[in-house]
Structure 1
Amino acid sequence: MKIAVIGAGIGGLTTAGLLTQTGHEVYVYEQRGNLDQDGAGLGIGSNVLKALKQYKMAYAIEQEGQPLRKIEIRSDLDEFLNSLMMNQDEHKNITIHRKVLHEILKTHVPTDNIYLNHEVKTFKQTADDVRLYFTNGLEEQFDLVIAADGIHSKVRTQLYPKSAPKYAGYTCFRGVVNEKLNIEQDVTLEYWGHKGRFGIVPLKDNELYWFCTMNAKENDLQFKSFEKPHLQAYFNQFPNEVRTVLDAQEETGILHHDMYDLVPLKSFVSNRVVLLGDAAHATTPNMGQGAGQAIEDAVTLVNLINDRDIESALKRYDKLRTKHTKKVILKSRKIGKAAQSSSTLKIKIRNKMLKQKSSKSLSKKVKFLQKAKLK
């Protein structure tokens, strides 16, 4: 089949790479003028690595990742609340720098098949094909169009005009520290406090990335002006590890974004147009599953396309992925609501409940991630 992939992010390049490996004619269209990636680190769960195992790119991703043993949750007073143990089977949970992952994915798509400065204006489809119209005047016809054009997807907007990003109520800063600090290299630390959250996540070669989230109005001017000294002052009463990380952060390279997700859609498919990744089911980062779910989308879609006729494949993809990603969106939203609480009473109750739960009981709440059907 002749297939267009709109968007050259993680979901788009994964899909294009897997389709190319299995013999399809694939063209990737990216609206930006380059493939440079902002971003810090991200998590790739064992569910995702297991899904990828039959494809060539899996080995490189796992080799460049930092294995993770557990996630530890502590209060802003450094009081242990609970921990989530990671699977220790053949498929590890890893962290990886976004830029590194993106570079790996690029190597699996022919350079000549990636078109920059190609922004989709609109599309028209029949039962058997789709015609794309680009803002630069180009028109192209395809057997299938896969829209991986992010949370602000123009394709999704054309299919679902009322579907728009939903503000989560908090803003986020992120960065990468390139020097070795006295912090465990296989443990993610999260500090939950009255003023927000601070996470410290190991990367390969003694690097780490950090994130912090604070309750805020959408486009809050107070936080738009924040730089390193503001963050140091804001988290000055947090544990020593937090202060150490912020002290080591360079003055530049701090990223800032408000957090959004999407109200779960009933369908990701319209005839020969398919939504994938954030374009279909953008979620808050509280479960570390944003990139992973996009990769799972890609694996599931390619598995089905290669095993079934196209109509049956798209119908099955739609059924599997709408159901599963809805759970991820809602569970992540629920975790964020609990973690971002600023009420003294609610925090006291939350922390008490966390301390009373076993690590095993926390693991059970995310066990559904391991049960996603891939075909």
Structure 2
Amino acid sequence: MSLRRDAAVLAPRLSLPHRSCASKVPSFRTLAVRASTPLLVASEACAKVIHGKYVSKLIRDEISAEVSGMKEAIGVAPGLAVIIVGDRKDFATYVPNKKKACESVGINSFEVHLPADSKEEEVLKFITGFNDDPLVHGILVQLPLPSHMNEQSILNAVSIEKDVDAFHPLNIGRLAMRGREPLFVPCTPKGCIELLHRYGIGIKGKRAVVIGRGNIVGMPAALLLQREDATISIVHSRTQNPEEITREADIIIAAVGQPNMVRGSWIKPGAVIIDVGINPVEDSKSSRGYKLVGDVCYEEACKVASATTPVPGGVGPMTIAMLLCNTLTSAKRTHNFQCVGCFRLYFTIRKTSSEIVQEDSLSTRTAFTCRCPYSLNCLFS
């Protein structure tokens, strides 16, 4: 049946852990295998939409429930410290959003804002203080740093137990090695994989192409897909025939920072697209004078792909949700908190004919007692 572009909404499957917390509950991977075939069938008119905004809201509900349980059980709330250096325009959006998200789930937020001409030693001093502070369970250094600072030495100074951004070399190294588990996984790549899981899109055995090889998204995304038993190709600035390689992919993660670079001709019919790019382009019709677009040409992708994330409203909200998840996981690990008695929300989203899924369409919520000592870590890792 043909659906209009604004009416096609891909409904997430039940929110279940990868490894079942109860023997009678099917694993996430089992559900993904069952669901992958029908979900990957595109309508004749357009791709279905993967709504990260609404999935992230549901994840925050889950985190909020666990934070409340933790406060009630042991009187401790997770704490996230953010260090900002400078006054970049994009910081004015990112940082308040993170603070607001923390408040919405009951996580304590600590913030240090330093001028752009601060010395590296000043930043290291605050990192050391947060490393030693028992009320802080996660430390985030807002990137990029001013050019006169050594980014790697500053990131290395963050305690690996509080490295919720997962940029510490030990966390990345463990992610890259078979049989090793990182304490944390980088938030944006983790959000990409979580979207695929939440929508029941199978990864095992699929051909996946990651466009971009940066340390923040591209490389860790490729490592995560590899852990999910996908066959990986990485397309970068020196790749020959990138269009041809990308067209072989069942799953495309675009993280290159080039507006509308991936055209419809790059996409295999029925492929699934996760667009990480957030690029401002001039738009005289907008009151701001610009609009945000992804690395993938959305209009062309909708005619070929089976499912795709929008920009904005796709991967961005998931990044913040995964940051909250990592912070909670750190607090639970620090206090050896067993989340017996907390509730996991199951959910489905009904298909609607409206342009945007409304919050009142979230339905079929049930709950069960979690038996996993680190349930969110189990769910999101």
The question of a shared fold, defined as TM-score above 0.5 by the shorter chain, is answered with no
TM-score by structure 2 length?
0.28
TM-score by structure 1 length?
0.29
Higher strand content, 1 or 2? 1
